[in-house]
Structures are given as structure tokens and as C-alpha cells.
């Protein structure tokens, strides 16, 4: 799953291909600097799971739920969280028990919260402005 992603559209398509393969219980951690493409990839993952909703980053509600696709999807952005305790306050443990897919942007801010089956992806900008995504076995 290491790939160069030339455009935002290519990043969405990468996410879509990933989303089409996901199963209940999968957890996807997306890391990388602000603007690296985590939300673009998330839009694709959610589309690949069959949702028709244009995904946006959770802000005040802290988690967005997409229930209209093949599996329920729960999208977190840890950048919005003050600390790990706040993630539990919004029901982290309950979401982990759901038979759905969890996507976490900025998962590396609180890596200890992520279960062992988590798949970790790191996005980087290249000097050309393209992005590169690398799958890591762990952080
Ligand atoms: N190859 C690319 N992949 C993803 N985003 C890209 C790419 N090239 C340019 N962009 C732009 O970079 C920004 C990425 O934003 P976003 O996905 O919200 O980043 P993040 O969630 O990592 O902060 C968008 O404005 C997008 O249009
Ligand atoms: Mg984002």
C-alpha cells in the first residue's frame, strides 16, 4: 500500500480502494502533517464503504458517523481532542465494540488508544507537491 499520490483525487481513489476491502472491526490510523491528505483519504475510504455522504472532518461533535454504507463508519480526528481522556469521554470503548470501521486522523497523538489490529498509514508531502503514503506495521 505504499504509493505516490499525484493529486487530491488520486488520494481519494487510494482511500476508496482501501475502503472496498475493509471488514467489520477494522481500525485505520492516518498520520502526517496538516494538509498531508488524511481527510482526502478518509473521504475515499468512506466512499469505498458505500456511503453517499461527502465526509468532512469532525469538529465540535468530535466523531462523525456514516451509517448509510456497507458497514457503519466512525471518523475521529484526534487533533481536536485535548487529551486521551477526552477520547474516552466521547465513547471510544463503545465505538471499538461496534461491528463497523473506525478511521482516526492524527492517531499518533494518542497511539496507546489504538487496538493491536490497527493499520497505520503515514502521509508525507514530496518536494514536487505530490503526496506519498506508507503503511507501517506499527508506529
Ligand atoms: N496528492 C494529494 N493528496 C491529497 N491532498 C492533496 C494532494 N495534492 C494537493 N492536495 C491538497 O492538500 C490538502 C489536503 O488536505 P486534507 O486532506 O484536509 O489534509 P489533512 O487531513 O491531512 O490535514 C487539500 O486541500 C488537497 O486538495
Ligand atoms: Mg484532516
Asked if 90 and 63 touch (Cβ cutoff 8 Å), the reply is: yes
Q: Is the pLDDT of residue 98 over 80?
A: yes
16, 9, 10, 14: which is closest to 48 by C-alpha?
16
Q: Is the pLDDT of residue 50 over 70?
A: yes
Greater pLDDT, 60 or 104: 104
Domain boundaries, the chain: 3-134
Residues, CB-to-ion distance under 5 Å, ligand 2? 38-39, 57, 105
Confidence of residue 137 (pLDDT cuts 50, 70, 90): confident
Confidence of residue 83 (pLDDT cuts 50, 70, 90): very high
CATH architecture of residue range(s) 3-134? 3-Layer(aba) Sandwich (3.40)
Q: Cell 467489520 sits at which residue?
A: 24
Q: Which ligand lies nearest to the CA atom of residue 30 in the structure?
A: 1
pLDDT of residue 26: 98
Amino acid at each position: 500500500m505504499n504509493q505516490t499520490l499525484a493529486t487530491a483525487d488520486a488520494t481519494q481513489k487510494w482511500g476508496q480502494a482501501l475502503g472496498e476491502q475493509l471488514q467489520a472491526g477494522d481500525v485505520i490510523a492516518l498520520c502526517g502533517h496538516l494538509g498531508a491528505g488524511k481527510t482526502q483519504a478518509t473521504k475515499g475510504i468512506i466512499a469505498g464503504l458505500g456511503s453517499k455522504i461527502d465526509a468532512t472532518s469532525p469538529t465540535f461533535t468530535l466523531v462523525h458517523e456514516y451509517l448509510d454504507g456497507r458497514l457503519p463508519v466512525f471518523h475521529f480526528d484526534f487533533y481536536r481532542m485535548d487529551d486521551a481522556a477526552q477520547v474516552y469521554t466521547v465513547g471510544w470503548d463503545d465505538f471499538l465494540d461496534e461491528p463497523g470501521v473506525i478511521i482516526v486522523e492524527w492517531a499518533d497523538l494518542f497511539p496507546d488508544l489504538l487496538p493491536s489490529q490497527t493499520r497505520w498509514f503515514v502521509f508525507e508531502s514530496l518536494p514536487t507537491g505530490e503526496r506519498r503514503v506508507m503503511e507501517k506495521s506499527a508506529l
